[in-house]
């Protein structure tokens, strides 16, 4: 059972309504206005009920995310703000979709419609009840039954539907049937990026890794991963997917040659490659498609949008996105009440970059956002902050590229599809790679202390698997440790999704 309470001063409510007559139409349905006959105390009580209902939804959402991802970030409740200023309430949600009606001699009824109803159903909330009161202040309390159960939270946090892309080898499998990924990464200045990218790909299940890198990088990688095939600067040899960008020297790279390879190859475009590739798209020298995945962090996202918008490079992604399209045309839908301003900018920026390039966009952050070429938004659960370490993104890019190659090849071999399958795969593979990467970081950062009194550091309650008796504490990690934890994350993810 979840409950929410809200109180509003009737005089303040009346002042706001008088100052903005259009608020009445934005806040209340025709049925609500008709049943209240314009009585402001009754309308104020109904407004309280709407805000109380949003608080219930926010509470259930935080519980769902906390089950597997620690203590949560509190965004669910914190972002439920008053809709008295403009009637919009929570971004993307219509206050009229929360309707409180009453008939003479009957208790008031709360009904949900549209996006609000869909999100309540997603959280398993049902049997809504409401109590209204008004004197000098208006007050409402709302209750709902159901909500995320322990079992449903476990599967939801791991997203069982994505586990089908964790392909195990069959009896007749060979290295080519498991896919080939080409990695173009590393430079004299950033040799480690190539190594970390290969490390991520090595644990993806892909059958072969080809590497294009300077000799210094090749030698470094071969010492740790002798199974890779070094190709030097030659872009020959077939591959099912490409990873382009980690640690590259953006000034020296032959981007137009890489663009020719990109045209018809599913790819992960990361780090140093993002801005040059976006510039080629803007100039009409390259066409990205739905099977390409762009992976910017917030700063890279802003700079990529800047190339299209022609604004200053210090603008945020959200500010730049606002110049490209009216934000009101891009509602945030079911995610609205867990959105911080930074996350809202990330979502809007990712939507715009996907629209401008025709590619899938994975916008990295504590709450990673994936937007497919079809503009559908996927908001991932909060990840451990310990992932914010140098080289972490290189591991993610390699893991993603390997998973993409593995599944593109599987689709080509089993259903006769090639690039077309990758277009549908891209948003799914992007989500899966980010979730596996987050889980690997979580596992790498955990230590179980036998006694609570001896434990130091931030305590967590990650439901990642059976733990010995004691207190789970977290600690700093490095990118190689994240890569090393991927096999355990792979197995745990597949196991959790199967249960």
Looking up residue 29, the CATH number of its domain turns out to be: 3.90.470.20
Distance between CA atoms of residues 301 and 407, nearest Å: 27
| Same domain for 290 and 348 | yes
What pLDDT digit, counting tens, does each position of 64-110 carry?
554 433 333 333 333 333 344 444 444 456 888 899 988 777 889 99
| Same domain for 309 and 370 | yes
Per-residue pLDDT of the chain (499 residues; tens, 9 = 90+): 788 888 888 888 888 888 887 888 889 998 888 888 888 898 999 999 998 898 888 877 766 554 433 333 333 333 333 344 444 444 456 888 899 988 777 889 999 988 788 788 777 888 899 998 887 788 888 988 877 653 344 334 467 789 999 999 989 989 999 999 999 999 999 999 999 999 999 999 999 999 999 999 999 999 999 999 999 888 888 999 999 999 998 777 778 888 888 988 999 999 999 999 999 999 999 999 999 999 999 999 999 999 998 765 556 666 655 555 433 334 444 444 444 578 888 999 999 999 999 999 999 998 999 999 888 888 898 899 999 999 999 999 999 999 999 999 988 544 334 445 667 899 999 999 999 999 999 999 987 555 443 444 444 333 344 344 445 678 999 999 999 999 999 998 888 666 5
- pLDDT for 315 equals 60
| Same domain for 199 and 87 | no
| Same domain for 168 and 142 | no
- pLDDT for 333 equals 42
The residue range of the domain holding 324 is 159-439
From the number of C-beta atoms within 10 Å of its C-beta (0-12, 13-18, 19+), residue 86 rates as: exposed
| Same domain for 384 and 254 | yes
Q: Is 205 annotated as a binding residue?
A: no
- pLDDT for 161 equals 83
Distance between CA atoms of residues 376 and 355, nearest Å: 11
Tokens standing for 240? 């099912």
Q: Is 219 annotated as a binding residue?
A: no
Q: Is 357 annotated as a binding residue?
A: no
| Same domain for 232 and 320 | yes
Number of domain units in the chain: 2
Q: Is 367 annotated as a binding residue?
A: yes
- pLDDT for 222 equals 97
| Same domain for 293 and 209 | yes
- pLDDT for 254 equals 78
Q: Is 467 annotated as a binding residue?
A: no
| Same domain for 183 and 97 | no
**DSSP strand pairing (180-184 vs 241-244):** parallel
- pLDDT for 234 equals 85
| Same domain for 257 and 137 | no
456 belongs to a structural domain: no
Whole-structure pTM value = 0.67
460 belongs to a structural domain: no
- pLDDT for 350 equals 94
426 belongs to a structural domain: yes
Are 369 and 339 in contact by the 8 Å Cβ rule? The answer is no
Distance between CA atoms of residues 474 and 292, nearest Å: 35
| Same domain for 262 and 124 | no
Q: Is 393 annotated as a binding residue?
A: yes
Q: Is 420 annotated as a binding residue?
A: no
Q: Is 366 annotated as a binding residue?
A: yes
Q: Is 364 annotated as a binding residue?
A: yes
- pLDDT for 84 equals 43
What pLDDT digit, counting tens, does each position of 415-439 carry?
334 445 667 899 999 999 999 999 9
- pLDDT for 364 equals 97
Q: Which among 407, 439, 471 is the end of a domain?
A: 439
Question: Tell me, what CATH number does 195's domain have?
Answer: 3.40.1190.20
Q: Which of 297, 281, 299 is nearest to 289 (CA)?
A: 281
Q: Which among 386, 408, 439 is the end of a domain?
A: 439
- pLDDT for 453 equals 39
């Amino acid at each position: 059972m979840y409950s929410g309470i809200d109180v509003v001063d009737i005089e303040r409510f009346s002042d706001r309504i008088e100052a903005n007559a259009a608020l009445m139409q934005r806040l209340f349905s025709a049925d609500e206005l008709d049943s209240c006959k314009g009585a402001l105390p009754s309308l104020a009580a109904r407004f309280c009920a709407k805000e109380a209902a949003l608080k219930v939804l926010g509470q259930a959402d935080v519980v769902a995310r906390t089950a597997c991802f620690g203590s949560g970030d509190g965004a669910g409740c914190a972002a439920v703000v008053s809709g008295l200023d403009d009637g919009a309430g929570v971004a993307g949600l219509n206050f009229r979709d929360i309707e409180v009606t009453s008939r003479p001699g009957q208790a008031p009824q709360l009904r949900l419609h549209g996006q609000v109803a869909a999100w309540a159903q997603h959280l398993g909330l049902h049997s809504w009840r409401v109590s209204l009161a008004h004197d000098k202040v208006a007050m409402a309390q709302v209750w709902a039954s159901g909500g995320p159960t322990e079992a449903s939270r476990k599967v939801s946090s791991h997203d069982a539907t994505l586990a089908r892309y964790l392909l195990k080898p069959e009896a007749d499998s060979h290295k080519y049937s498991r896919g080939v990924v080409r990695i173009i990464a590393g430079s004299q200045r950033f040799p480690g990026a190539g190594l970390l990218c290969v490390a991520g790909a090595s644990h993806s299940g892909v059958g072969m890794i080809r590497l294009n890198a300077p000799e210094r990088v090749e030698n470094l990688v071969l010492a740790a991963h002798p199974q890779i095939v070094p190709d030097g600067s030659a872009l020959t040899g077939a591959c099912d997917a490409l990873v382009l960008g980690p640690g590259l020297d953006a000034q020296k790279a032959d981007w137009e040659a890489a663009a020719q390879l990109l045209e018809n190859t599913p790819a992960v475009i990361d780090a140093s490659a993002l801005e040059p590739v976006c510039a080629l798209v803007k100039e009409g020298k390259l066409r990205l498609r739905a099977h390409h995945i762009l992976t910017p962090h917030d700063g890279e996202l802003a700079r990529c949008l800047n190339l299209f918008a022609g604004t200053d490079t210090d603008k945020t992604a959200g500010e730049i996105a606002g110049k490209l399209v009216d934000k009101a045309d891009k509602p945030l839908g079911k995610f609205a009440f867990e959105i911080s301003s930074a996350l809202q900018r990330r979502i809007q920026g990712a939507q715009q970059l996907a629209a401008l390039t025709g590619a899938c966009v994975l916008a990295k952050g504590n709450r990673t956002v994936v937007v497919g070429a079809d503009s559908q938004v996927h908001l991932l659960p909060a990840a451990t902050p310990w992932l914010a370490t140098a080289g972490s993104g290189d591991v993610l890019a390699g893991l993603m590229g390997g998973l993409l190659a593995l599944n593109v090849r599987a689709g080509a071999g089993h259903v006769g599809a090639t690039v077309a399958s990758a277009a549908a795969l891209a948003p799914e593979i992007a989500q899966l790679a980010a979730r596996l990467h987050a889980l690997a970081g979580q596992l790498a950062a955990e230590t179980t202390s036998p006694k609570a009194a001896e434990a130091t550091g931030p305590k967590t309650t990650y439901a990642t698997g059976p733990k010995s008796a004691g207190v789970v504490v977290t600690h700093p990690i490095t990118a190689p440790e994240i890569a090393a934890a991927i096999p355990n994350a792979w197995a745990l993810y597949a196991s959790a999704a199967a249960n």
